[in-house]
Amino acid sequence: MKIRYLGHAAFEVVLDGKRILVDPWITGNPKSPVKVGDVSADIVIVTHDHGDHGFDDAVEIAKKGATFVSIFEIATKAGEKGAKDTVGMNIGGPAEIKGLKIALTQAFHSGTANPTGVVVIGKEGSFYHAGDTGLFGDMKLIGEIYHPKVAMLPIGSHFTMDPVEASYAVQFIRPEIAIPMHYGTFPILTGTPEKFQEEVRKRAPETKVIALKPDESIEV
Ligand SMILES: [Zn+2]
């Protein structure tokens, strides 16, 4: 599994030979290393419909052949905007999409449709992208049921968890690797990866924190 950070909450993951984009906010993202015209994917996932999570760019990417995956109402809207292959789901057990298992999870946030996180499971690995969310105790169940190898967690504060809360999330989920996201893009998102690392060391020292810079990747 190869994970590349595209800045803010956007990731490109190659898993079992499939290219997956999550929350591909590219146009207008000051941290994006790519242009939407240069990006393609097999699957594009949008956790919720706030502008900084890439609905519009995801539709563009879906028009080039990616399967658009999101909660039912957002997937329907993507279809209306021209995405040809959409899978509208809801929070619950996984669906099989292009050979991968994809489950939407709850997220404590807002949006015109219910916001979600997402778990993606392949043969080579698995990850949990929490979307935008506050802390909630049932993250423990996501860890118990899916054992995601990697967790991408928002740490910016104000709209989501801060580094302290996100370290409790790591304690609940117990991934091998935690990647912080949704910080530093705007001055209001004050959480730092250094503080997150420090807090994770206190509560879940067996989890490795890897703060990727935009365009950096890891192979796990
Ligand atoms: Zn949001």
Distance 54 CA to ligand 1 centre (A): 10
- Residue 23 pLDDT level (bands cut at 50, 70, 90): very high
pTM of the prediction? 0.98
* pLDDT number for residue 185: 96
Distance 53 CA to ligand 1 centre (A): 7
* pLDDT number for residue 45: 99
Distance 50 CA to ligand 1 centre (A): 5
- Residue 24 pLDDT level (bands cut at 50, 70, 90): very high
* pLDDT number for residue 47: 98
CATH topology of domain 2-213: Metallo-beta-lactamase; Chain A (3.60.15)
Q: Mind giving me the DSSP string for 103-156?
A: EEEE-S---SS--EEEEEE-SS-EEEE--S----TTHHHHHHHH--SEEEEE--
Distance 111 CA to ligand 1 centre (A): 7
Distance 191 CA to ligand 1 centre (A): 16
Distance 1 CA to ligand 1 centre (A): 26
* pLDDT number for residue 196: 98
Could you tell me which of 165, 189, 187 has the C-alpha nearest to residue 178? Answer: 165
Domain boundaries, the chain: 2-213
Distance 45 CA to ligand 1 centre (A): 14
Distance 60 CA to ligand 1 centre (A): 20
- How far, CA to CA in Å, does 71 sit from each of 55, 91, 92, 98, 158? 12, 8, 11, 17, 24
Summarised one tens digit per residue, pLDDT across range 142-183 is 999 999 999 999 999 999 999 999 999 999 999 999 999 999
Distance 178 CA to ligand 1 centre (A): 20
Summarised one tens digit per residue, pLDDT across range 40-77 is 999 999 999 999 999 999 999 999 999 999 999 999 99
Summarised one tens digit per residue, pLDDT across range 122-146 is 999 999 999 999 999 999 999 999 9
Average pLDDT over residues 90-100: 98
Average confidence score pLDDT of the chain: 98
Give me the percent of the chain exceeding a pLDDT of 90: 100
Average pLDDT over residues 96-119: 98
Give me the percent of the chain exceeding a pLDDT of 70: 100
Distance 123 CA to ligand 1 centre (A): 30
Answer for the pair 85, 61: CB distance below 8 angstroms, yes or no: no
